[in-house]
Amino acid sequence: MEFKVLQLYSNDMNIYGDCGNILALKRRLTLYNITAKIIEYNQGDAWPKNIDIIMGGGGQDSGQNKIINDLYKISSNLQNLAQNNTPMLMVCGLYQLFGKFFKTKDGETLNGIEIFNIETYGKDKRLIGNVIAKSNQFGTLVGYENHSGQTYLLDNIEPLAELVTLGAGNNEQDKNEGCIYKNCLGTYLHGSFLPKNPTITDWLINQAAKNRGFNLTTINTQKYQYRAKGINYLTGVEYFTKRARQIAKKLKR
């Protein structure tokens, strides 16, 4: 079984290792005996067919400016896929552009593609530092934020995490982080995000599997043995994930 994973704008929207999310997804897919075909989409590329999961990262305001016109060209493809429950994860800069608009602190308005019913306003103060956010659905999420844009959720959209306990998340007032609409997730958390937050990785994989008509029940622990140490691959992955999360939870802002 192969899943096609699309990385949006890997050349211009990929900061703080956001493309590492793709590596985590690919690795974790192998635990379910699924191989990942990674497709990078950059400006002017042909739009690929039959995509299972779409990923997008963050970028400077200038990077967002660079890709915005191309994003408009592919917006109906993305909107249709979102409506058809394709799982997506958009981090920071692309999270903002999946909303209604991003008014930058320089007074420019970048209209978004309106998959998320959110608005973003650039402020002079950047929100920078480690974040811990509690999500009813996904448990404790950890990551790192760096953004001038502050995002407000409007109607019919839920936060990804309801309570931020360290850092800001969406904005300085609401104490929530990210958003979820159908199978599309938006977040301010870099990290990379997925290696430290496997509940999200598994959820994306599960939603993609459901779209293909099957449920993932078991992770294949047999197939992946660490050669010398006799611990299986899954144990290794979980060990490092757990350690990374423990460290992240102790970090100061």
Report the interface residues with ligand GLN, using CB under 6 A: 15, 58-61, 64, 92-93, 146-149
Phi, psi of 128 (to 5 degrees): -130, 135
Pairing between strand 2-8 and 53-56?
parallel
Nearer to ligand GLN, 5 or 127 (CB): 127
Shortest Å, Cβ 63 to ligand GLN? 7
In the complex, minimum distance from the CB of residue 160 to ligand GLN, in angstroms, rounded to a whole number: 16
Identified catalytic residue from 147, 179, 184, 190: 190
Q: Which two tokens stand for residue 246?
A: 């423990």
* Residue with nearest beta carbon to ligand GLN: 58
Catalytic residue, from 92, 147, 179, 184: name it: 92
Residue that is written with structure tokens 């990374």 in the block? 244
Residues paired with 8 in a beta bridge: 41, 56
| Minimum gap (Å) between residue 180 Cβ and ligand GLN | 19
Strands 118-135 and 101-103: parallel
Both structure tokens of 182: 């159908």
- Cβ 220 to ligand GLN shortest distance, Å: 35
Closest CA relative to residue 133, chosen from 182, 208, 205, 185: 185
Alpha carbons 153 and 22: distance in angstroms, whole number: 27
Q: Between the CA atoms of 186, 188, 191 and 196, what dihedral angle is there, to the nearest 10 degrees?
A: -50
Helix, strand or coil, per DSSP, at residue 117: coil
Q: How far is the CB of 217 from ligand GLN (least distance, A)?
A: 36
Structure tokens at 34: 């699924």
Please identify, using beta-carbon distances, which residue of 149 and 159 lies nearer to ligand GLN.
149
Q: Which is nearer to ligand GLN, 92 or 184 (CB)?
A: 92
Q: Does the annotation mark 92 as catalytic?
A: yes
Question: At 212, which amino acid appears?
Answer: R
Whether 19 is a known active-site residue: answer: no
Q: Give whichever of 148 and 170 is closer to ligand GLN, judged by the CB atom.
A: 148
Q: Tell me how far apart the alpha carbons of residues 91 and 9 are, in angstroms, rounded to a whole number.
A: 12
CA 21 to each of CA 14, 165, 181, 191: distance values in angstroms, whole numbers, following the listed order? 10, 23, 20, 9
Output 16 or 233, the one with its CB closest to ligand GLN: 16
Catalytic residue set: 92, 190
